[in-house]
């Protein structure tokens, strides 16, 4: 059930007046630093004037996005499917579908996928890329 929900997002659409972004047409890219992490850049800085960016994130079972910060971005995670946890400013937050987490700018955070992997909708303000 959970992976079907993620696949609905993976093939979804972003709709605004006069524009549609079909997620299925956007390729997955490997994270430049963390093995087992893939990103689908839904909206980027170029499309939003740098105001925000949206990304689907797929973390393979047992893989992690290790400790890092974003400056000046605020980051949010909406858990779509799978399980795991985040360490957000040293506080452990269990990740399961329906959880939303906010990482403030300049705050250390990391994300660890459980045995079934982890699927997130991540947003950055201002845009990450």
User: DSSP assignment of 95-108, as one string?
Assistant: E-TT-EEEE-TT--
Structure tokens at 94: 């269990």
Q: In this structure, what DSSP letter does residue 73 have?
A: -
Q: In the CATH hierarchy, which fold is given to the domain comprising 2-125?
A: Jelly Rolls (2.60.120)
Low pLDDT (below 70) residues in the chain: 1-2
What tens digit of pLDDT does each residue of 39-59 get?
999 999 998 999 999 999 999
> pTM for this structure?
0.92
First to last CA, the chain: 31
Q: What b/e string do you get for 25-37 counting C-beta neighbours within 10 Å, with b at 16 or more? A: ebeeeeeeebebb
Is residue 25 a contact partner of residue 16, using CB atoms and an 8 Å limit?
Answer: no
What tens digit of pLDDT does each residue of 65-78 get?
999 999 999 999 99
CA 125 to chain centre: 13
Annotated domain spans of the chain? 2-125
């Amino acid at each position: 059930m959970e992976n079907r929900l993620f696949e609905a997002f993976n093939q979804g659409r972003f709709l605004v007046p006069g524009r549609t972004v079909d997620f299925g047409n956007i390729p997955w890219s490997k994270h430049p630093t963390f093995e087992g992490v893939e990103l689908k850049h839904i909206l980027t800085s170029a499309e939003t004037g740098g105001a925000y960016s949206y990304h689907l994130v797929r973390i393979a079972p047992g893989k992690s996005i290790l400790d890092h910060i974003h400056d000046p971005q605020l980051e949010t995670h909406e858990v779509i499917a799978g399980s795991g946890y985040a360490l957000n400013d040293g506080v452990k937050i269990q990740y399961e579908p329906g959880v939303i987490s906010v990482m403030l700018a300049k705050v250390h955070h990391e994300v660890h996928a459980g045995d079934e992997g982890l699927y997130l909708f991540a947003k950055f303000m201002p845009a990450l890329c």
